Amino acid sequence: MSPEFKTEVDNVTSLWGYISSPFAQRVIATAILFFGVWVINRAIESAIDRIANERRIDINKRTIYQLIAKIIRYILYVIAFTFMLEIFNISIAPLLAIGSAVGVAVGLGAQEVVRDTISGFLILTENQYVIGDVVKIEDSVGEVVEVTLLSTILRNGLTGEVITIPNGEIKVIVNYSKEYMNAYVDIPMPYEMSTDSIISTLQDIVAPMNYEGALTPVEVIGIVDFAQSAIKVRVSVKTEAGKNYEIERRMRKDIKNALDEKGIAMPYNTQTVHLKQ
């Protein structure tokens, strides 16, 4: 037997002896365990993505499914870690005691995170609003651009500001994008006209009005206020969600032009100044 061949045989024997050792078997078992957990997690994530794409699930439900996948992933890794300790004959009792103490400390410091997460989960599951909706949350108004478990992000349509609101602080939500909205305009009319004349004049003006996004004909609701210098009459129309502000702007323009054509001036506050000589 040549020295080189004998050396190779010795190396193989040594390697086999190492692999056959209890420690190496534990390492191999641990590697197989965590590889199996990784494969299961990948399969779950792929299944969720496939289901979401096939069924065209909205972003809120997709976020919930991803959250569930993460929870399953962490549970599997915790279970795998526990089995690893058992494989290496390590008692988990001291670790449980330390983990409990750390858990209490983290729990006390993470109360707001837990609150935000729970609130975010409820927002997503109850479908209170979705990306693209125009909402008012507390004192902030804007379009929803992102919803996570911790926060809701709005973009103000006028200023372009991006507003981040922790979900746990959200108490009252006004959603302007649900089903329909009402567009209304209060028109100041002169006291010199009778109320019947005011109503009939405005009815004649709004009768031909037809706007894209309007769900009903424009109608004159009636007198809503006797102001200092004018009688205010409300004109209203039901619109598609998000179209109300645009239609209000167009109604103001069209009604003002129509009144001008009829020679009816909108009244406004005036002030008379008397100078002493």
Q: What is the reported pLDDT for 107?
A: 60
Tell me which DSSP letter residue 136 carries. Answer: E
Predicted confidence band of residue 86 (pLDDT cuts 50, 70, 90): confident
Chain position carrying tokens 């410091």: 109
Residue (of 109, 142, 120, 145) closest to 130 by Cα position: 145
Distances (CA, A) of 159 to 41, 144, 211, 219, 241: 43, 15, 27, 32, 21
Q: What is the reported pLDDT for 48?
A: 74
> In the predicted model, what is the mean pLDDT of the chain?
83
Q: What are 12-67's pLDDT values in tens digits?
A: 455 555 566 777 778 888 888 889 889 988 888 888 777 767 665 566 666 677 77
Q: Which residue has the higher pLDDT, 105 or 73?
A: 73
- Check if the beta carbon of residue 156 is closer than 8 Å to that of residue 163: yes
Within 10 angstroms of residue 195's Cβ, the number of other Cβ atoms is: 13
- Asked whether residue 193 carries a pLDDT value surpassing 90, the answer given is yes
Predicted confidence band of residue 147 (pLDDT cuts 50, 70, 90): confident
Fold of 114-178: SH3 type barrels. (2.30.30)
Q: Do domains 114-178 and 180-262 have the same CATH topology?
A: no
Fold of 180-262: Alpha-Beta Plaits (3.30.70)
The H-or-E segment that residue 87 falls in is helix 59-87
Q: What is the reported pLDDT for 58?
A: 64
Q: Which residue has the higher pLDDT, 51 or 261?
A: 261
Domain ranges in the chain?
3-90, 114-178, 180-262
Q: Which residues contact 214 (CB under 8 A, 6 or more apart)?
A: 183, 237, 238, 239, 240, 243, 247
Residue (of 202, 235, 234) closest to 218 by Cα position: 235
What three-state secondary structure class fits 155?
Answer: strand
Residue (of 95, 46, 107) closest to 73 by Cα position: 46
Residue (of 237, 233, 211, 235) closest to 224 by Cα position: 233
Select the highest-mean-pLDDT range: 52-61, 75-84, 241-250. Answer: 241-250
Q: What is the reported pLDDT for 2?
A: 55
Q: Which residues contact 176 (CB under 8 A, 6 or more apart)?
A: 133, 134, 135, 136, 241, 242, 244
Q: What is the reported pLDDT for 259?
A: 96
For the chain, count helices (H), then strands (E).
7, 8
Q: What is the reported pLDDT for 117?
A: 80
Predicted confidence band of residue 106 (pLDDT cuts 50, 70, 90): low
Q: Of the ranges 100-104, 240-244, 250-254, 273-277, which one carries the lowest mean pLDDT score?
A: 100-104
